[in-house]
Chains A and B, each alone.
Chain A
Amino acid sequence: MEQHNRFWRIALLSLPLAVFGLFVVWPLLSSFYYSFTNWNGFDPDYSFVGFDNFAKIATDRLFLQAAINTTIWMVAAIVLPTALGLMLALLLDARVTGARVFKSIFYLPICLSAVIVGQIWTWIYQPDWGLLNTIIAQVTGETFKYAWLAKPDSALWSVIVAWSWQQTGLSMVIYLAGLTAIPGDLLEVCEIEGASPWQRFRRVVLPLLAPSTVVVVALSVINSLKGFDILYIMTGGGPFNSSDTLAMHMYNESFKKYLMGYGSAISVVLFLIALAIIGLYFRQLRKVDRIYG
């Protein structure tokens, strides 16, 4: 029997593992290798440069800018979609008519591609006839022609709003799933005992939603590290790198300037950040499991 099992394990696992190993694990490891070279993407010849690429990171002004932007992006991407998603989930959980329709509306943007979302929001920010300027002009009664995506002050935040619009639906459904797990009797008891809606939310619902919050926050962080497509479409990292993120910076260095060795070093840093966050996430998940599971 044991021999039978071993045969089938090998037979069934070898293909998936080969594909995963060859196209995910091996490239991941090679990234470390290339980060110590000066490969330019085309020449078969390249040489080892030791820690030069990492030393360059420390002095690269654009890397610093990208790291700051990634942090802003990350914090905003945690706060905005999480808060909005939680609010929507609470509203929808209150047995409203048409909850299903509402849910689909809030969820719809998730199935659109970043390219389409970027396009839609580029039009909202369009200076001449974009929705935002049109509304501002209507309200103030004066012509308003601010180029949201072309100004260093507003470019990053404009993209963050678009991104939050797309991501809110995801945190909403995760919170909705978490809410269904809270027994209705519990809230009923609280109400009878005279707890105000705010107290019920603050002292009962929110703590019981902790596992969902961990998931939502972790997903937001991870997705924001991947933040690339929508920036590429809407601002290309500009103007003057004011909306560059690490993912964007890595792409530019590797595939625009063909500094693939340096690009690999950036990707290694990106990997280490992701690794730290995933580690934190799994630890937090276990803690939440212990308390509420």
Chain B
Amino acid sequence: MADTLPATRFNPWPATIFTILCVLAVLFLLPTVGVLLSSIKTTREISMGELWSLPASLYLGNFAEVLGNPAVHQYFLNTLLVTLPATAVSITLGALAGYVFAKLPFRGSNVLFLGIVAGMFFPPQVILVPLFRLFNGIGLIDTLWPVIIVHSALGLPICVLMMRNFFATVPNALREAAIMEGASEWQVLTRVVLPLSLPALAVLATLQFTWIWNDFLWPLIFTQSDDKRTIMIGIVNLKGQYSVAWGVQGALSLVASLPTLLVFLFFQRFFIKGMTMGAVKG
């Protein structure tokens, strides 16, 4: 964005600005670099106070420990089992509702739409106790189901918002033409509108994947036994086992962040767009 703007913007000193930005960038990167450094150092090195220096040699034992730990495999599997279905379901439901709000509006549909979108703003603590009681009552506590279900439902505000806004940009004439040709609304949605909405789908997939993967609260409330925990809870659980093995903790954090980091690097454009769109339109 910034590199295509006309020359005269607020601020006349490019070299100074560049220097300031470099300093800030280093400050911003330091915390992350610390984790990177810890993961390739031995516990001895770290406790000797050498975490923040460049390593003399590359030590891979921490990663071997993390990747060889069967509990970590289970955490990863659980997180995938939650993240993938919840992402898919929330986007699908968002597309269904978004289509109606954009193409088949009715009396009061705007109020309904705003009501759903408002769900984005509330602290999740507000629905904690009743949901716990509900899932406890039907015996789903300590399974992955409540986590999947709640993420699918809580993803709706942002998904409905973005799908509806994107669908609104698809010309109505396209839908009408397809209907005239004898297509059903379902066919219009799946064959005409959705294929045109790939950018919106990409934005949502990136956002939802990242949020659900990173979530801590819901798996904390709904799961109890170790083999049902997701990776973010797992990290906290393993803190006891690796209490002073700082390097292993660092490696574990890196491995756990890898999926979201990769998603971020590859889909940065979509991710940032989603964050701003969701924020500005909301």
- A228 vs B125: C-alpha distance when bound (angstroms): 9
Residue from A20, A191, A251 having most chain B Cβ neighbours under 10 A: A20
Asked whether A237 is an interface residue with its Cβ less than 8 Å from the other chain, the reply is no
> Which of these, B14, B132, B257, B264, contacts A96 with CB under 8 Å?
B14
- A191 vs B52: C-alpha distance when bound (angstroms): 46
B7 nearest in chain A by CB position: A95
B50 nearest in chain A by CB position: A129
Contacts of B11 in A (CB 8 A): 90-91, 93-94, 197
Asked whether B17 is an interface residue with its Cβ less than 8 Å from the other chain, the reply is yes
Chain A stretch 1-35: residues in CB contact (< 8 A) with chain B? 5, 8-9, 11-13, 15-17, 19-20, 22-24, 26-28, 30-31, 34
Contacts of B32 in A (CB 8 A): 108-109, 112, 120
Asked whether B173 is an interface residue with its Cβ less than 8 Å from the other chain, the reply is no
B179 nearest in chain A by CB position: A4
- A15 vs B30: C-alpha distance when bound (angstroms): 46
Judge whether B93 and A93 touch: CB under 8 Å: no
Chain B stretch 142-160: residues in CB contact (< 8 A) with chain A? 149-150, 152-154, 156, 160
* With A200-B10, A270-B126 as contacts: A16 and B264 at CB distance below 8 Å: no
- A176 vs B5: C-alpha distance when bound (angstroms): 12
A119 nearest in chain B by CB position: B253
Contacts of A197 in B (CB 8 A): 10-12
Contacts of B96 in A (CB 8 A): 12-13, 15-16
Asked whether B246 is an interface residue with its Cβ less than 8 Å from the other chain, the reply is yes
Judge whether B28 and A267 touch: CB under 8 Å: no
Q: Chain A interface mostly helix, strand, loop or mixed?
A: helix
Contacts of A160 in B (CB 8 A): none
Distance between A92 CB and nearest chain B CB, rounded to angstroms: 5
B101 nearest in chain A by CB position: A13
Distance between B220 CB and nearest chain A CB, rounded to angstroms: 8
Judge whether A8 and B17 touch: CB under 8 Å: no
Chain A stretch 166-194: residues in CB contact (< 8 A) with chain B? 170, 173-174, 176-177, 180, 184, 187-188, 191
- A22 vs B127: C-alpha distance when bound (angstroms): 11
Distance between A6 CB and nearest chain B CB, rounded to angstroms: 8
Contacts of A201 in B (CB 8 A): 10
- A205 vs B8: C-alpha distance when bound (angstroms): 13
B211 nearest in chain A by CB position: A113
Asked whether A150 is an interface residue with its Cβ less than 8 Å from the other chain, the reply is no
Asked whether A128 is an interface residue with its Cβ less than 8 Å from the other chain, the reply is yes
Contact digits for A130-161, partner B, Cβ 8 Å, 1 yes 0 no: 01001000000000000000000000000000
Judge whether A215 and B94 touch: CB under 8 Å: no
> Which of these, B2, B253, B280, contacts A215 with CB under 8 Å?
B280
Residue from A11, A119, A121 having most chain B Cβ neighbours under 10 A: A119
Chain B stretch 241-282: residues in CB contact (< 8 A) with chain A? 246, 249, 253, 256-257, 260-261, 263-264, 268, 271-272, 275-276, 279-280
Contacts of A200 in B (CB 8 A): 10
Asked whether A274 is an interface residue with its Cβ less than 8 Å from the other chain, the reply is yes
- A247 vs B217: C-alpha distance when bound (angstroms): 11
Contacts of A51 in B (CB 8 A): none
Judge whether B216 and A226 touch: CB under 8 Å: no
> Which of these, A102, A173, A264, A274, contacts B272 with CB under 8 Å?
A173
Contacts of A52 in B (CB 8 A): none
- A229 vs B12: C-alpha distance when bound (angstroms): 41
Asked whether A50 is an interface residue with its Cβ less than 8 Å from the other chain, the reply is no
Judge whether B214 and A219 touch: CB under 8 Å: no
Judge whether A113 and B97 touch: CB under 8 Å: no
* With A41-B132, A99-B2 as contacts: A20 and B10 at CB distance below 8 Å: no
Contacts of B192 in A (CB 8 A): none
Asked whether B200 is an interface residue with its Cβ less than 8 Å from the other chain, the reply is no
B215 nearest in chain A by CB position: A113
Asked whether A47 is an interface residue with its Cβ less than 8 Å from the other chain, the reply is no
Asked whether A48 is an interface residue with its Cβ less than 8 Å from the other chain, the reply is no
Contact digits for A220-260, partner B, Cβ 8 Å, 1 yes 0 no: 00100110110011000000000000110011001100001
Asked whether B174 is an interface residue with its Cβ less than 8 Å from the other chain, the reply is no
- A173 vs B273: C-alpha distance when bound (angstroms): 9
Distance between A138 CB and nearest chain B CB, rounded to angstroms: 10
> Which of these, B216, B236, B275, contacts A110 with CB under 8 Å?
B275
* With A20-B119, A23-B149 as contacts: A91 and B125 at CB distance below 8 Å: no
Asked whether A105 is an interface residue with its Cβ less than 8 Å from the other chain, the reply is yes
Contacts of B35 in A (CB 8 A): 116, 119-120, 123
Judge whether A174 and B5 touch: CB under 8 Å: no
Judge whether B31 and A165 touch: CB under 8 Å: yes
Contacts of A174 in B (CB 8 A): 276, 279-280
Chain B stretch 1-57: residues in CB contact (< 8 A) with chain A? 1-3, 5-12, 14, 17-18, 20-21, 24-25, 28-32, 34-35, 38, 46-52
Asked whether A74 is an interface residue with its Cβ less than 8 Å from the other chain, the reply is no
Q: Which 6 pairs between the two chains have the least Cβ-Cβ distance?
A: A113-B214, A27-B130, A23-B153, A27-B127, A30-B130, A184-B6
**Can you name 12 A-B pairs with beta carbons within 8 Å?**
A9-B100, A11-B185, A16-B160, A31-B129, A88-B21, A93-B11, A97-B18, A111-B260, A120-B32, A129-B50, A260-B133, A270-B125
